[in-house]
Amino acid sequence: MEYRIEHDSMGEVRVPADRYWGAQTERSHENFLIGVGIETMPAEIIHAFGILKKAAARANAALKPEKMTQKKLEAIEKACDEVISGELDDHFPLVVWQTGSGTQSNMNANEVIAHRANMLAANESKPLCHPNDDINMSQSSNDTFPTAMHISAVLQMEDSLMPAVERLIGTFSELEKANEGIVKSGRTHLQDAVPISFSQEISGWRSSLEKDLALMKLAVGPLRELALGGTAVGTGLNAPEGFDVLVAEEVSKLTGKEFRTAPNKFHALTSKDELVFAHGAVKALAADMMKIANDIRWLASGPRLGLGEITIPANEPGSSIMPGKVNPTQCEQVTMVAVQVMGNDAAVGFAASQGNFELNVFMPVMAYNFLQSVRLLAESIESFRVNCAVGIRADQEKMRGNLHNSLMLVTALNPYIGYENAAKTAHLAYENGISLKEACVQLGFLTAERFDEVFHPEEMI
C-alpha cells in the first residue's frame, strides 16, 4: 500500500495515499481498534455532517466573506455534495467507540471535505482549504456532532420510518374492508372471550400504528433545534453573531425540512433529552409491532393443531428435519427487531444521563443506537408488510367453528338468566362436553325455543 505524509499539531502521520482523510482521522483509526468494519459511525451521521458543513460554509460566506471566499465556498459545496450523496462513504472509517464528543468524526469530515475541495480546486497554487480554519470555521465538535445527530434523526424518521408505518396502515385498512362481516371469537388473557369481528380486530392494529405515527410526529419537533453556533461550551466563542440562526436556515433549505437554532446552547450541548423523547416514541412503535406480530402468529398457528384462524404467506421451508413445515418467519423478525429497539432505548436513556458539566460525552453511542432503531424498524415493517401482512387471509370456517364452540357466548344470556345462572350453564357445558343450549335447557333456565330466540352470537359484536 502506498502512503502519503499528513501532519497535525502532534506531528506527522502516514495516511493511505488513496484516502482523503488526514492525520487526526488516521490517529483515531489506529487508536480505536474496536468494532472496526462493523460498528463504524452510521452513514446517516456522515451525510448529516455533509449537510451541516455546507450550511456552515454558506453562513460563513455571508458573515465572514473575507475568510470564506467565493472560491472556497464553491469548492467546499461540491465536496459536501459528494459527502451528502454517499460517494465518499469509504473515506469515513472511524468506529462508534471513540471519543464521546465525536470529535474525531467531526475532524474526519473536516479533513475529507478539505482534501476533496482542494482536489476540485487543483488549479490553485497552494491548498485552498484547511480542515480547521475553513471547514470547521465558526464551529466545534461539541456543537457539530449533536447537530448531525438531530439532522440525521429527523431525516430518517420522516423519510424512512414514518412512510413505512403509513404503508402498513394502508395495508391494514385494506384488510379491514376485505374482512367486514366476518365474526370470530375474541380472546383475553389467552382465554376465550366474547365475539369480535375480524375487521374490528384488524382495526385495533391499524389504530395502534396511527397513534404511534402521531407520537413520532410530535417527538420530531424538539429534534428540529440545532446546537450549531454554541461552539465549545455553549457561549458561541469564535462564531460570528447571527451564525446560529443563519446556519439553521441553510440546513432547512438544504434538507427541505424545518430546522431552527436551539434557544439555549448550554442545554443543546449537554442535554440529550430530545433524543430520549424521540426514541421513546420509536420504542412505542416497536412495542405495538411486537404485539401485532404476536397476534398474527398466534392466529396463524397450526396449521391443524393451533388456532389456525388465518393463513399467512409461506415464504420458505421452516425446518431442516420436518418436511413441509412452514414458520411465521416475518412475525419472528419483527419481534426480534422490537427486542433490539427496546435494548437500544435503555442505552440511549442511560447515555443521556451521563453528561458532565457543559458536554455529554456519550453521543456516538446514542447516535448509533437511535439510528439503528429507526433503520431496523423501517426495514422490518416494510418486510413484514410485503411478505406477510398483504397476504393475510381469514379461514372463515375455522373462525365460525371456534366461535360457536366458545363457552363465553354464554355472556349473551346474562340479561335473560342472570350472571350466576349463566356461569352455571358454562360450567355444566364444559364439564360434560355439551353445548350451551343443552346445558341451559338441562338446568331449566330457558326452553330450547326461547334459547334460540335470544342466542345470536353474530349479533354480539
In three-state secondary structure terms, 13 is: strand
Q: Is residue 404 flagged as an active site residue?
A: no
Instruction: Indicate the pairing of strand 225-226 with strand 260-261.
Output: parallel
**Residue of 9, 125, 189, 320 marked catalytic:** 189
Which amino acid is present at 448? Answer: A
What is d(CA 180, CA 415) in angstroms, rounded to the nearest whole number? 27
What is d(CA 407, CA 410) in angstroms, rounded to the nearest whole number? 6
DSSP one-letter string for 304-370: SSS---EE----S---SSSTT----HHHHHHHHHHHHHHHHHHHHHHHHTT-BTTB-S-HHHHHHHH
Residue 186 C-alpha cell reads as 375474541
Q: Is residue 130 flagged as an active site residue?
A: no
What is d(CA 114, CA 126) in angstroms, rounded to the nearest whole number? 13
**Residue of 7, 85, 207, 319 marked catalytic:** 319
Identify which of 233, 52, 58 has the alpha carbon closest to the alpha carbon of residue 152: 52
Residues 6+ apart with CB under 8 A from 277: 219, 222
- Residue 197 dihedral angles phi and psi, to the nearest 5°: -85, 150
Residue 357 C-alpha cell reads as 458539566
Alpha-carbon 232 to chain mean position: 30
- At CA 76, angle to CA 70 and CA 82, rounded to 5? 145
What is d(CA 160, CA 14) in angstroms, rounded to the nearest whole number? 39
Task: Assess whether the previous peptide bond of 328 is cis (omega < 30° from 0).
Answer: no
DSSP one-letter string for 1-45: --EEEEEETTEEEEEETT----HHHHHHHHH--SSTTTSBPPHHH
Residue 439 C-alpha cell reads as 346445558
- At CA 83, angle to CA 64 and CA 134, rounded to 5? 25
Catalytic residues: 189, 319
